[in-house]
Amino acid sequence: MSSPRFRAAVEVPAGVPVLGVPVYSDLSTPPGAGAEVNAAYLMQRRFEGKPGQAQAMLADDGTTVVALGVGEPGSVDADALRRAGSALARHAGSASRVATTLVAAAGDPGLAAAVVEGIGLGAYRYASAPKRIEGNGRVEYVTVVGAQPAAVKRGQVAVEATCRARDWVNLPARDFTPREFARVVGQAAAGTGVKVEVWEEQRIKAERLGGLLGVAAGAAEPPRLLRLSYRARVNGKSTRKGAAPTIALVGKGITFDSGGLSLKPPAGMMHMKADMGGAAAVVTATLAAAELGLRVNVTTWVAATENMPSGTAIHPGDVLVARNGKTIEVLNTDAEGRLVLADALSLAVEEEPDAIVDVATLTGGQRVALGDSVAAVMGTDEALIRRVIAAGEAAGEPAWELPLFPGYRKSLDSEVADLKNVSAGPAASTITAGLFLKDFSGSGPWAHLDIASPSWSDVEDGWITKGATGWGARTLIELLEAWAP
């Protein structure tokens, strides 16, 4: 789905059918709100000005004024603005054009990006092709009054990246195979300055990507390895090596995960088209970095395959050899994400970037530990972990650090290989998965972001819509933007 188009303006345009107005918890409005609200009417409707609350009213000139709760005066933050923006998108009715003065409540015109994100992400809807009706009953054009144009552009890019990631994850797995993923990424990168290299089976074998080949062995669809490269430009020219920081992004791209021979139960497969959420996040963030012209170099690796049961699938007890030469005893074929990431991380390490960040829908234990709204982060460099957490906080995608407790590493010891792909029991499964990846992360700064649960939602909540959330794309954009000199 295409996202709304946003523009900055100094005043509310004439004739706009819907106007979103910020309202504090005391039912007052800030200077520059653009319209008065009837506090008595709002009280009757039990409107309390909480972020995410909305109440529509009809003005004398026929404009629908939507009161948008933003919380207490002086404490309006980006999250409150996102929630207010998403509430406006859901209360716009059939209007294709809306305007909002939400920035007036922020005290910082730079926070217009959060307003744009809230409206754009709240307006998102996915439907399969037979049900999709473009331009019917959805917001198409949004005027953000009092905003900085640069902040509006920044928000627009973040919305488009997240919505693109949502679209890719929401697509049925039969329509979004590894080959189709590679084709679509190449198409999306055309003209952006991002170079896309696609490795097919022969190249994957030649490059000794044993983890990726092992997982792909049971699928009729062939695997793909994608390498994206964006180089910062100054005065229209690419920067020389070392002139800008180089960040490697690595994404898990399992386009459908049945569990392989360690077959998942039916309920566990219902949303397994979403197992490439990490790959969608790293790719769309890379394209966004190019569109924003960030002064940071980005190299992105995606290992894409299906994980299917068949007569050719890997068996529990098989041993694979990863790109870096380490041997892996596969005891559970449903722990496949770490196998493909082992190869992709090894490739990233060889290019000696300044830091590596991988994003993956990796473990069910992430939900057990942190629930549906907080991602897990761990790694080898505390400064990098702090950067990732700060980026997630700025994006409204919180992450919490889990320890890579070295004492748990022995649970991955194997009698026949360098390590096995699962520990003996379910305890600390997210941490032991991180410890597995650490063996392939090299000696430089590395962070691992497990987005297993936040990548998909069964409910609407603020900027979150049902289905794929696009989680991680905006965190990475914030991370790259903060890193750029």
| Residue 152 in domain | no
Same-domain pairing of 244 and 354: yes
Phi–psi pair at 119, nearest 5 degrees: -70, -50
In a domain, 454, yes or no: yes
Length of the chain in terms of residues written: 485
In a domain, 40, yes or no: yes
Q: How many C-beta atoms surround the C-beta of residue 485 within 10 A?
A: 9
pLDDT tens string, the chain, 485 residues long: the values are: 578 999 999 999 999 999 999 999 999 999 989 888 999 999 999 999 999 999 999 988 889 999 999 999 999 999 999 999 999 999 998 899 999 999 999 888 889 999 999 999 999 998 765 554 444 457 999 999 999 999 999 999 999 999 999 999 999 999 999 999 999 999 999 999 999 999 999 999 999 999 999 999 999 999 999 999 999 977 666 666 668 999 999 999 999 999 999 999 999 999 999 999 999 999 999 999 999 999 999 999 999 999 999 999 999 999 999 999 999 999 999 999 999 999 999 999 999 999 999 999 999 999 999 999 999 999 999 999 999 999 999 999 999 999 999 999 999 999 999 999 999 877 899 999 999 999 999 999 999 999 999 999 999 999 999 999 999 999 999 999 999 87
Listed residues 147, 175, 194: the one ending a domain: 147
Domain closes at, from 88, 117, 147: 147
Q: Is 126 exposed, middle or buried (0-12, 13-18, 19+ CB in 10 A)?
A: middle
User: What whole-number distance in Å separates Cα of residue 344 and Cα of residue 322?
Assistant: 10
CATH number at residue 294: 3.40.630.10
Structurally, how many domains does the chain consist of? 2
Residue 154 lies in a domain: no
46, part of any domain: yes
Domain assignment present for residue 310? The answer is: yes
Active site residues: 264, 338
H-only helix segments in 247-381? 277-292, 337-350, 365-370
- Do 11 and 40 belong together in one domain? yes
Q: What pLDDT does 3 receive? A: 87
Q: What's the confidence (pLDDT) of residue 134?
A: 47
446 phi, psi to nearest 5 deg: -145, 140
- The answer to whether residue 238 sits within a structural domain is yes
Same domain, 211 and 138: no
Residue ranges making up the domain that contains 124:
5-147
Reduced to 3 states (helix: H, G, I; strand: E, B; else coil), residue 252 is strand
Same domain for 135 and 21: yes
CATH classification at residue 43 = 3.40.220.10
136 and 227 belong to one structural domain = no
Do 95 and 179 sit in the same domain of this protein? no
126 lies in the same domain as 185:
no
The reply to whether 90 and 181 lie within a common domain is no
- The HSE-up count of residue 339 (CA atoms within 13 Å, CB side) is 34
Q: What is the pTM of this model?
A: 0.95
In a domain, 320, yes or no: yes
- Is the domain of 108 the same as that of 189? no
Q: Are residues 136 and 182 in the same domain?
A: no
Q: What is the pLDDT of residue 236?
A: 62
**Cβ atoms of 223 and 253 closer than 8 Å:** no
State the Cα–Cα distance between residues 150 and 396, nearest whole angstrom.
Answer: 20
The residue out of 124, 147, 170 marking a domain boundary is 147
